[in-house]
Amino acid sequence: MMRTTLTRTCAVCLIALLAACSGSEIPGLNNANASSTTAAAAVAGPTRALPDFSALVERVGSAVVNVSTVRNPEATADNTPAVPPGAENDPFYEFFKRFGIPFEGVPRPSPTMGLGSGFIISQDGYILTNAHVVEGATEVTVKLTDRREFKAKIVGADTRSDIATLKIEASGLPTVTIGDPEKVKVGDWVAAIGSPFGFENSVTAGIVSAKSRALPDSTYVPFIQTDVAVNPGNSGGPLFNLQGEVIGINSQIYSRTGGYMGLSFAIPINVAIKVKEDLVHYGKVTRGRLGVTIQDVNQELAKSFGLDKPAGAIVSSVEDGGPADKAGLKSGDIILKVGGKQVDQSNELPSVVARIQPGTKTDIEIWRDGKRTTIPVTIGELGEKTVASASQSGQADGKLGLAVRPLTPDERKQAKVDGGVVVQNAQGAAARAGIQSGDVILGVNGETIHNVGELREAVSKSNGVVALLVQRNDARIYVPVRTG
């Protein structure tokens, strides 16, 4: 993580500069300086005033709400009382339970409070927020800017996209206008409204820093990155363009301290609206699935495959019987377009495919045998399987210098293993220890690992050195790697 320092510069007055360089007053200096200043301004181009967000806030601020939650640690998924911690080992618990007497033998944990933001998208009370804002909540309260409060029902939540839909019983409510994230440009001014640290309807502003950012564990969302100040409590609040249209939902920040450090990320509103429609009409979210494992195309791969520049996502394996397999895609194909939408980097492919309705027949443009080819594919439905996975795993741990990914079902069968991760790239400490690309890491310090998360967790617990159980071809060996 990098600390970002935002600075604002102002024009240096040419008159002051000349005056500082001159020891005496020169007749006609003011006129000359005025001419010089005009000339400098002509070279620099017309100046533009900073945007004024006051009219925007006045128009749309009333549609932004405060979302507070109560989480009862004793409640189960169906909101029935859970067994108090330690009660199952108390001989009196069954006796009290049988006669319906409250059991007080073990201290009960207190309910926890949560705070977030949201915004109204329909006059009859539908509200969008983040799934993590209402996760595990047994009670949700929505507070409007006019101080009215409503108990909210969770219509549905989708953890993959971090979107939740709430419903309050009201009518004639103020609503936001939905914008088009596709029209957003890097450098555009944007504003966020939310409740950071409980300070309701706080407004912050900045610019769009980047688009289509892929974050760990968020494969299906092409995040909008901004430098708008977002803090705990802003989650679920809207991100507006200068026209007062919602283009995203503030969801995450990149921080060393837990507070804002110059990087914030918003879920594009078109992704959120699609999730909301699925939750309201079907009770679940449907996503498209291709059934391939992919990786990014770097300069060396592009050159070896005959591409003039790095682009697309290279297919490293194809799921047997999956949509891609049925369509004829194979390992080594480079996916350049899906349904006419350009795929510049591999991390863009999962979100592009996920937004396609399952059962839709779409064209996929690939690079094969030194030329472009178009293949029709009928998109499948994503269940527990991934749309396209591989490089999403990224760095397992900076201490090791490894880039790894999960094994595909075919790779596990071939390697005769139940878990593990395959090494895509080894640098630093791992490379010095002899770890190579293609090695399969099965365990750390005697503990079996099944995915990248378990590897990262095991390495984080190390005290300077870890022993990796590595399978290379048919041989297994422990390899010590220094992490200090």
Judge whether 435 lies within some domain. Answer: yes
Give the residue, 465 or 311, on which the prediction is more confident.
Answer: 311
Same domain membership, residue 425 and residue 350: no
Judge whether 23 lies within some domain. Answer: no
CATH of the domain at 450: 2.30.42.10
- Binned at pLDDT 50, 70 and 90, residue 112 comes out as confident
- The mean pLDDT of 432-451, rounded to a whole number, is 82
- Binned at pLDDT 50, 70 and 90, residue 130 comes out as very high
Residue 444 token pair: 């750390």
Give the SS3 label for residue 87. helix
Which of 282, 306, 328 is where one domain is finished?
Answer: 282
Same domain membership, residue 277 and residue 145: yes
Same domain membership, residue 324 and residue 258: no
Which of 93-107, 303-317, 364-378 is the least confident region?
93-107
Judge whether 91 lies within some domain. Answer: no
Mark out the alpha helices in 246-316 (DSSP H runs). 269-282, 299-305
Which of 1-5, 115-119, 151-155, 353-357 is the least confident region?
1-5
Judge whether 49 lies within some domain. Answer: no
Give the residue, 214 or 99, on which the prediction is more confident.
Answer: 214
Judge whether 28 lies within some domain. Answer: no
Same domain membership, residue 162 and residue 63: yes
Residue 88: phi and psi, rounded to 5, are -65, -20
Judge whether 10 lies within some domain. Answer: no
Same domain membership, residue 265 and residue 402: no
Residue type, 21: C
Number of Cβ within a 10 Å radius of residue 20: 8
- Confidence (pLDDT) at 36: 45
Same domain membership, residue 323 and residue 348: yes
Residue 292 has pLDDT above 70, yes or no: yes
Task: Tell me which H or E stretch contains 406.
Answer: strand 402-406
Closest CA to 108 of 128, 123, 93: 93
> Which residue in this structure is represented by tokens 């009660």?
87
- Confidence (pLDDT) at 474: 74
Residue 391: C-alpha distances to residues 312, 407, 423 (Å): 13, 12, 11
- The mean pLDDT of 452-473, rounded to a whole number, is 78
Same domain membership, residue 132 and residue 265: yes
Q: Report the distance separating Cα 299 and Cα 180, nearest Å.
A: 33
Number of domains in the chain: 3
Q: Yes or no: say if 152 and 129 are a contact pair by the CB < 8 Å rule.
A: no
- The mean pLDDT of 166-186, rounded to a whole number, is 95
Q: Report the distance separating Cα 460 and Cα 250, nearest Å.
A: 29
Residues belonging to the active site: 132, 162, 235
Q: Yes or no: say if 129 and 157 are a contact pair by the CB < 8 Å rule.
A: no
Which of 108-122, 256-270, 379-393 is the least confident region?
379-393
Q: How many CA atoms lie within 13 A of 86 on its CB side?
A: 7
- Binned at pLDDT 50, 70 and 90, residue 86 comes out as low
Task: Tell me which H or E stretch contains 16.
Answer: helix 14-21
- Confidence (pLDDT) at 17: 32
Which of 354, 389, 424 is where one domain is finished?
Answer: 389
CATH of the domain at 193: 2.40.10.120
- Binned at pLDDT 50, 70 and 90, residue 426 comes out as confident
- The mean pLDDT of 392-396, rounded to a whole number, is 41
- Confidence (pLDDT) at 41: 46
Residue 210 has pLDDT above 90, yes or no: yes
Same domain membership, residue 181 and residue 162: yes
Residue 356 has pLDDT above 70, yes or no: yes
Q: Report the distance separating Cα 335 and Cα 281, nearest Å.
A: 33
Same domain membership, residue 211 and residue 62: yes
Q: Yes or no: say if 384 and 375 are a contact pair by the CB < 8 Å rule.
A: no
Domain that holds residue 401: 394-482
Same domain membership, residue 440 and residue 301: no
Non-local CB neighbours of 21 within 8 Å, separated by 6+ positions: none
- Confidence (pLDDT) at 269: 97
Judge whether 29 lies within some domain. Answer: no
Residue 311 has pLDDT above 70, yes or no: yes
Same domain membership, residue 413 and residue 303: no
Which of 261, 282, 303 is where one domain is finished?
Answer: 282
Same domain membership, residue 261 and residue 135: yes
> Which residue in this structure is represented by tokens 């490894």?
402
Helices (H) and strands (E) in the chain, counts: 12, 30
- Confidence (pLDDT) at 4: 37
Judge whether 133 lies within some domain. Answer: yes
Give the SS3 label for residue 75. strand
Closest CA to 56 of 192, 235, 242, 199: 242
pLDDT digits (tens, 9 = 90+) for 237-290: 999 999 999 999 999 988 877 778 889 999 999 999 999 998 988 888 889 999
- Confidence (pLDDT) at 255: 80
Tell whether pTM > 0.85.
no
Which of 27-36, 172-181, 239-248, 466-475 is the least confident region?
27-36
Angle, helices 14-21 vs 29-44, to 10°: value is 130
Task: Tell me which H or E stretch contains 428.
Answer: helix 428-433
Residue 311 token pair: 């682009």
C-beta contacts of 169-173 below 8 A and 24+ residues apart: 169/125, 170/124, 170/125, 171/123, 171/124, 171/125, 172/123, 173/63, 173/120, 173/122, 173/123, 173/124, 173/125, 173/144
